[in-house]
Structure 1
Amino acid sequence: MDVSTTTWAITVIVTIAVIALDVFVIGRNVHEPSMKEAGVWTAIYIGLAIVFGIGVWMTSGATYGGEFFAGFLTEKSLSVDNLFIFLIIMGKLAVPRQLQQYALTIGIILALIFRAIFIALGAAVIEQFAWVFFIFGAFLVYTAINLVREYRAHEEKEEVVDNALMRLVKRRLPSVEEFHGRSMTVMQGGRRLITPMLFVIIALGSTDLLFALDSIPAIYGLTEEPYLVFTANVFALMGLRQLYFLIGGLLQKLIYLSLGLSFILAFIGVKLVLHAMHEYHWADWAPFGGEIPIWLSLTVIIGTLVVTTVASLVATSRKSAAETGR
């Protein structure tokens, strides 16, 4: 895929403009978005991703178009799982609903920064060393196994709320118990004290870093084009703040989401290992010569998400009916 410097520049400028619009225009008022507002903006962002993907398909071919959609769906799914952790963080730190929009915006900006860094590093390493796909693949399979273990143990990943960085900040810096709007510090008695908002940002940033470590190897397993990796991540994160308020209750019903993600990550991990073996001519025995086509990847991702969502909604519906005695 031949992406000119001009195209890259335009993409980055538009991305910054959209972030500025989201932060300084849409989110300038500290409030909890209504369902209508959240629904409209979520539809707009998803619509833009679809239009962009169709544009890639028409200008660069079906393969690259399929790679974008596969990457976007995978990153969006991981982002939705990220939202579940955000819900836990907001609840544990008792963030007022009207301040959650601001905290989410900062969290999404941090996620974009972390992923941009990992995308650049990943592209540089992949260009020089084909064997890195073995490491990426093994890491994704390991992550998939951990997701299954966490599901079976019914863990809520609450450790992200009180990690080592959080404990260090709490121990070294004096703080106040109450929120002071968006402020992360406040002057009291001639002393500069930190507010709970700083703890929220640290927790969200820590979570973003962990998810970036999962998401970048995953998308590089679907496309090696840095431009598609970047744009898929941007579109996956855009509108995430509105999606948080739109499906906050629904997230609790997606009980099998982690299992679906574990299967997708394991599939991509195996795909990466086969790709590395193909590079060294060790996979002639494998179907497709070790290079799993994008149409198969897209089919597996869409199929897994559909099955996971339907099964989750059916299971939670039956559980709710049983609890109410219907």
Structure 2
Amino acid sequence: MDVSTTLWVLTIVGLAALIAVDFFIGRKPHDVSIKEAGIWTVVWIVLAALFGLGLLVFSGGQPAGEFFAGFITEKSLSVDNLFVFVLIMAKFSVPSQYQQRVLLVGVLIALVLRAIFIAAGAAIISSFAWVFYIFGAFLIYTAWKLIQEARADEAEEDWEENKLLKAAEKRFGVADRYHGTKLWIEQNGKRVMTPMLVVMLAIGTTDVLFALDSIPAIFGLTQDPYIVFTANAFALMGLRQLYFLIGGLLKKLVHLSYGLSVILGFIGVKLVLHALHESGVHVPEISIPVSLGVICGVLIVTTITSLMASKKQAAAEAAQTAQKETEGTSQDSVEAGRPQT
């Protein structure tokens, strides 16, 4: 897809305008309701769909299919990010009315850092075709690690600050409490960061770790930097509202890691086949429609089995609780019937 500099500029300006509207609408700290989060989640998905339809009309089915496959993949991978975001919010005890501001700025930082990753990835791919082997092997390895972590329940562990964040806290110091939405304050004659700035940096920089698998994953679906960037942008910009919308459902998506591991492994194999094809080896390549079907199918199956497993577990816990209460009542009756001495 041939993208002119003018189109790049217009796209970035358009995305910046959408982010600005989102910021000013939610600039006043408040608790985000399910209704508000739901409305904005639908808005961002509709905007992404309209963008994809625009690609279909003006550029054809191939770019549009790549965008939708990339968007769905990035969106599903970003849901996994929310588990870590919940841990970060809990670790820093972020007041509920400030969480939306934290996520907005944190996601904006993540978007800028991802843009740098995408530019670097595109430059490497254009110069070295063999990098597809590395990307493919890395995704297959990541898929295996996801399965291992899911089986070991490592998602329940506490989140730990990265080295960059620790260095910033040591260098500038951190205030002992939140000061509204302020990022810097004067404390004992010294300018220090507030916990608000620290948690924003934590959200933004932690997302870079997720980008290590999501960026190679989307390059496995398309090598067009424009589509890679826009798919990432639309997936990330709706992440804040998704946090509030499905925050309570995250624990019910017990099979999500397995689903994501299948998707990453599938794209990893697709990348290796593409690398072999580029090297002159006659192997079948996986088309975008097939990729889109596999990704959507895995996510649907994963969601259904997760909800079924969660419902079964809840029923078992309820039955266990009822049994304990019955045993406790029976024991009380026995105690009450004993003669007094």
Q: Do both share a fold (TM > 0.5)?
A: yes
Q: How does 1:221-300 map to 2 (within 5 A)?
A: 221-282=220-281, 284=282, 286=283, 288=284, 291-300=285-294
Q: Does 1:16 align with 2:16?
A: yes
Which segment drifts farther, 43-52 or 155-164? Answer: 155-164
Judge conservation of contact 2:83–2:250 (CA < 8 Å) in 1: yes
The Cα offsets for residues 151-178 of structure 1, whole Å up to 9 and x where unpaired, read as 1111127564333234334444433321
Q: How does 1:25-64 map to 2 (within 5 A)?
A: 25-64=24-63
Alignment partners' CA distance in 2, 1:75 and 1:19: 18
* Aligned residue type for 1:91: A
Alignment partners' CA distance in 1, 2:56 and 2:14: 20
Instruction: Compute the displacement of 1:14 (Å).
Output: 0.0
Judge conservation of contact 2:76–2:260 (CA < 8 Å) in 1: yes
Q: Does 1:318 align with 2:317?
A: no
Alignment partners' CA distance in 2, 1:97 and 1:199: 16
Q: Does 1:107 align with 2:106?
A: yes
Report the counterpart of residue 3 of structure 1 in structure 2.
3
The Cα offsets for residues 7-59 of structure 1, whole Å up to 9 and x where unpaired, read as 22211110111111122x12211112211111111101101111211221232
Instruction: Compute the displacement of 1:63 (Å).
Output: 1.9
* Aligned residue type for 1:308: T
Alignment partners' CA distance in 2, 1:322 and 1:160: 29
* Aligned residue type for 2:221: L
Report the counterpart of residue 197 of structure 2 in structure 1.
198
Which segment drifts farther, 158-167 or 72-81? Answer: 158-167
Runs of 5+ consecutive residues of structure 2 not aligned to the other structure: 323-341
Report the counterpart of residue 143 of structure 1 in structure 2.
142
Runs of 5+ consecutive residues of structure 1 not aligned to the other structure: none
Which segment drifts farther, 189-198 or 205-214? Answer: 189-198
Higher gyration radius (CA):
2
Distance 1:157 1:136, change over 3 A: farther
Alignment partners' CA distance in 2, 1:270 and 1:297: 11
Alignment partners' CA distance in 1, 2:96 and 2:157: 20
3-state SS of 1:302 partner: helix
3-state SS of 2:211 partner: helix
Alignment partners' CA distance in 2, 1:135 and 1:157: 30
3-state SS of 1:202 partner: helix
Judge conservation of contact 2:109–2:205 (CA < 8 Å) in 1: no
Judge conservation of contact 1:42–1:239 (CA < 8 Å) in 2: yes
**TM-score (norm: length of structure 2):** 0.89
3-state SS of 2:173 partner: coil
* Aligned residue type for 1:26: I
Which segment drifts farther, 73-82 or 156-165? Answer: 156-165
* Aligned residue type for 1:155: E
The Cα offsets for residues 185-220 of structure 1, whole Å up to 9 and x where unpaired, read as 322332323322233123212211111221111101
Distance 1:166 1:89, change over 3 A: same
* Aligned residue type for 1:323: E
Alignment partners' CA distance in 2, 1:194 and 1:6: 39
Distance 1:263 1:191, change over 3 A: same
Q: How many residues align?
A: 320
Which segment drifts farther, 193-202 or 155-164? Answer: 155-164
Report the counterpart of residue 336 of structure 2 in structure 1.
none
Judge conservation of contact 2:172–2:191 (CA < 8 Å) in 1: no
The Cα offsets for residues 270-303 of structure 1, whole Å up to 9 and x where unpaired, read as 1111111100112x2x3x2xx2111111111000
* Aligned residue type for 2:219: Y
**TM-score (norm: length of structure 1):** 0.93
Judge conservation of contact 1:161–1:203 (CA < 8 Å) in 2: no
Alignment partners' CA distance in 2, 1:231 and 1:171: 36
3-state SS of 1:252 partner: helix
Judge conservation of contact 1:186–1:195 (CA < 8 Å) in 2: yes
Q: How does 1:61-140 map to 2 (within 5 A)?
A: 61-140=60-139
Alignment partners' CA distance in 1, 2:197 and 2:128: 39
**Percent pairwise identity:** 58
3-state SS of 1:192 partner: strand
Report the counterpart of residue 175 of structure 1 in structure 2.
174
